[in-house]
C-alpha cells in the first residue's frame, strides 16, 4: 500500500508498452483494416460498374435484336417484291415468247401453204397438159403452149 | 489458506501486503518480512509482485496482439486476427467518438490502457488463495524466501503504484500535448482566464488567482481521480473476495454459503473488471481530447 519506486517503474513499463503497442500492434493492424476497407470499396465499385455495364450490354443487345429484326423483315419484303417481280417478268416473257412462237408458226404455215400452192400450180400444169393431150389425142408441143398453160396456172 | 494458526486479521493483512524488496534500516537489502518493515523501507523499495504480474500481463497482451499484427492481412482474417481486429475496431470507434483532433498516439494508448487494465483487473477473478498459496509452497522456497514473508498480491491494479503510474504518465502526456498544441501562453491562459471572465482589466486581474485555484485543482484532480477510481474499485473487490474466503474456514454451512457468495460476487465482478478498464480508457481519451482542444 506504500507509494514507492514501483510507481516510477510502472510508469516506465507503461510508457514502454504504449510505445511497443503503437509501433508493432496498432500500426500494422490499422493498416490492414484500411487496406481491407479500400479493397472492399473497390470491389463494390467494380461490382456496380459491372452491373452497369451488364445493363448497358442488355440494352445494346435489345437494340441489336430490334435492328436485326427490322433488317430481316426488310429483306423478306425485298425478297417478296423481287419474287413477285420475277413472276411478273416471267409471265410477260412467256406471253411474248408465246406470241413469237405463234407468229413463227403462222408464218411457217403461210409458207407451207405457199409452197403447196407452188407445187400444186406446177403439178396442175402437167396435169392440164396431159389432160389436154388426152383430149386432143395428140402430141401437143408443150413449148408452143407454154405461155398459155402458165396463164392458166396463174389463174388457179 | 495461509496457515491454520492465522487469525482473520492476520489473514487479511497477509493478503493486502505486497512482496516488497528494498533496503532495510540496518543497511542490508532484502525482502520486507512485515508490513512495518516494508513501510520503513520508504520510497526506495519496489513491489516485486506488482511489477511481475503487470509486466507478465502486459507482455502476454503485446505478444498475442503483435503476433496477430505481424500476420495481419487485408484478406479474410483468421481466429486470433479476428479477435484482435474486433478489439482494435472497438478502440478505434471509441477514439473516433471522443477524440476529434489528429494524434496517432491516442488510439494505441487507449488500446494499451484498455487491454492491460482489463487483464490486471481480471486477475481478481482468480480465487484469492490460488496463486499466493502456490507461491508460498513452491516458489518461495526456491528463492529462499521465509514463508511468513511470502506475500503475493496478484492483482496489480489493487496496488496504487500501478494505477498512479499509469495515471501520472497519462497526466504528463496531457500536459505535454497541452503545451505543444496551445503553447505555454495558451495553457497558462486556460488555467487562469477560465471559467470567470470580465471585460474590465482590473476585475480580470483579480479573477486570475481565483480561476487558477479552480483550474489547478481540477487539473490535479484528473490523474488522482483516474487512478483512485480504478484502485478503489479493485481494492474493494479484492477485499470482498478475501472476506468471503475467510468463510471457507468457518465450518461447512458457512463455507457453502461463502461458495455461493463467491460465485455471485465473481459474476458481478466480471462486469466491474470490464467497466473499470473501459472507464479508464474512455477518460484517457477524454483527457487527451481536452489537451488538444482550444477553448
Looking at CA atoms only, how far is residue A53 from chain B in angstroms? 27
Judged against a pLDDT cut of 80, whether residue A144 lies above it is answered with: no
Instruction: Please tell me the distance from the alpha carbon of residue B17 to that of residue B47, in angstroms, as a whole number.
Output: 10
What is the residue-averaged pLDDT of chain A?
89
Q: Which residues contact B48 (CB under 8 A, 6 or more apart)?
A: B18, B19, B20, B21, B31
Sheet hosting strand B20-23, strand order edge to edge: B29-31, B20-23, B45-47
pLDDT of res. B1: 42
Residue whose C-alpha cell reads 506475500 in the numeric block: B151
If contacts are CB pairs under 8 Å, which of residues 172-201 in chain B contact chain A? none
Report the alpha-carbon angle A57-A60-A61, nearest 5. Answer: 85
Q: What is the mean pLDDT of residues A86-111?
A: 94
Residue A86 Rama label (left phi>0; alpha psi -120 to 50; beta): alpha
What is the residue-averaged pLDDT of chain B?
87
Of the two residues A117 and B2, the one the predictor is more confident about is A117
pLDDT of res. A151: 80
Percentage of the residues of chain B whose pLDDT score is greater than 90? 41
Mean pLDDT check: name the lowest of A74-78, A134-138, B281-285: A134-138
Query: Active-site residue among B54, B157, B211, B233?
Result: B233
Residue B152 Rama label (left phi>0; alpha psi -120 to 50; beta): beta
Indicate yes or no: pTM above 0.90. no
Q: Which residues of A touch B85 (CB under 8 A)?
A: 29, 32-33
Query: pLDDT class for B23, splitting at 50, 70, 90?
Result: confident
Buried b (16+ CB within 10 A) or exposed e, B127-137: ebbebbbebbe
pLDDT of res. B46: 87
Mean pLDDT check: name the lowest of A20-24, A34-38, B39-43, B277-281: B39-43
Query: Active-site residue among B98, B161, B225, B293?
Result: B225
Q: What is the mean pLDDT of residues A15-31?
A: 91
pLDDT tens digits, B127-164? 888 888 888 888 888 887 777 778 888 889 998 999 99
Judged against a pLDDT cut of 80, whether residue B68 lies above it is answered with: yes
Whether residue B239 lies within 8 A of chain A, CB to CB, comes out as: no
pLDDT tens digits, A85-96? 999 999 999 999
Q: Would the CA dihedral through B225, B228, B233, B236 be positive or negative?
A: negative
Q: What is the mean pLDDT of residues A40-59?
A: 95
Instruction: Please tell me the distance from the alpha carbon of residue A107 to that of residue B21, in angstroms, as a whole number.
Output: 151
Nearest residue to B167 via CA among B288, B3, B39? B288
pLDDT of res. B193: 81
Q: How far is CA B140 from CA B127, B136, B151, in A?
A: 19, 5, 9
Amino acid at each position: 500500500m506504500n507509494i514507492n519506486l514501483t510507481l516510477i517503474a510502472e510508469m516506465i513499463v507503461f510508457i514502454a508498452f504504449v510505445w511497443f503497442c503503437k509501433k508493432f500492434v496498432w500500426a500494422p493492424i490499422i493498416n490492414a483494416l484500411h487496406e481491407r476497407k479500400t479493397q472492399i470499396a473497390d470491389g463494390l465499385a467494380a461490382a456496380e460498374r459491372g452491373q452497369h455495364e451488364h445493363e448497358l450490354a442488355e440494352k445494346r443487345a435489345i437494340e441489336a435484336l430490334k435492328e436485326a429484326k427490322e433488317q430481316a423483315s426488310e429483306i423478306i419484303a425485298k425478297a417478296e417484291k423481287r419474287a413477285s417481280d420475277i413472276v411478273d417478268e416471267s409471265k410477260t416473257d412467256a406471253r411474248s415468247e408465246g406470241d413469237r412462237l405463234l407468229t413463227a408458226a403462222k408464218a411457217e404455215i403461210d409458207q407451207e401453204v405457199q409452197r403447196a400452192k407452188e407445187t400444186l400450180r406446177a403439178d396442175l400444169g402437167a396435169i392440164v397438159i396431159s389432160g389436154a393431150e388426152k383430149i386432143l389425142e395428140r402430141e401437143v408441143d408443150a413449148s408452143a403452149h407454154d405461155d398459155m398453160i402458165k396463164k392458166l396456172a396463174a389463174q388457179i | 489458506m495461509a496457515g491454520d494458526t492465522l487469525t482473520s486479521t492476520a489473514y487479511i493483512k497477509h493478503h493486502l501486503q505486497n512482496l516488497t524488496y528494498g533496503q532495510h534500516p540496518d543497511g542490508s537489502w532484502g525482502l520486507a518480512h512485515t508490513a512495518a518493515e516494508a513501510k520503513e523501507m520508504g520510497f526506495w523499495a519496489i513491489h516485486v509482485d506488482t511489477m511481475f504480474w503487470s509486466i507478465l500481463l502486459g507482455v502476454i497482451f503485446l505478444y498475442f496482439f503483435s503476433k496477430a499484427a505481424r500476420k495481419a492481412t487485408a484478406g479474410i482474417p483468421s481466429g486470433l486476427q479476428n479477435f484482435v481486429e474486433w478489439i482494435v475496431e472497438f478502440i478505434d470507434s471509441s477514439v473516433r467518438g471522443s477524440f476529434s483532433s489528429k494524434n496517432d498516439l491516442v488510439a494505441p494508448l487507449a488500446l494499451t490502457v484498455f487491454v492491460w487494465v482489463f487483464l490486471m483487473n481480471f486477475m481478481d477473478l482468480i480465487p484469492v488463495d490460488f496463486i499466493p498459496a502456490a507461491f508460498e509452497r513452491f516458489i518461495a522456497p526456491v528463492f529462499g524466501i521465509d514463508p511468513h514473508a511470502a506475500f503475493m498480491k496478484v492483482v496489480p491494479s489493487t496496488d496504487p503504484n500501478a494505477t498512479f503510474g499509469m495515471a501520472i504518465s497519462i497526466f504528463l502526456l496531457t500536459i505535454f500535448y497541452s503545451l505543444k498544441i496551445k503553447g505555454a501562453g495558451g495553457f497558462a491562459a486556460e488555467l487562469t482566464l477560465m471559467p470567470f471572465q470580465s471585460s474590465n482589466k482590473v476585475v480580470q486581474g483579480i479573477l486570475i488567482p481565483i480561476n487558477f485555484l479552480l483550474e489547478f485543482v481540477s487539473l490535479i484532480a484528473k490523474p488522482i481521480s483516474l487512478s483512485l477510481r480504478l484502485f478503489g474499485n479493485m481494492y474493494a473487490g479484492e477485499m470482498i473476495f478475501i472476506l468471503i474466503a475467510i468463510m471457507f474456514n468457518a465450518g461447512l454451512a458457512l463455507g457453502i454459503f461463502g461458495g455461493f457468495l463467491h460465485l455471485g460476487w465473481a459474476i458481478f465482478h466480471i462486469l466491474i473488471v470490464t467497466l473499470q478498464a473501459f472507464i479508464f480508457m474512455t477518460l484517457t481519451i477524454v483527457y487527451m481530447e481536452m489537451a488538444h482542444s482550444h477553448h
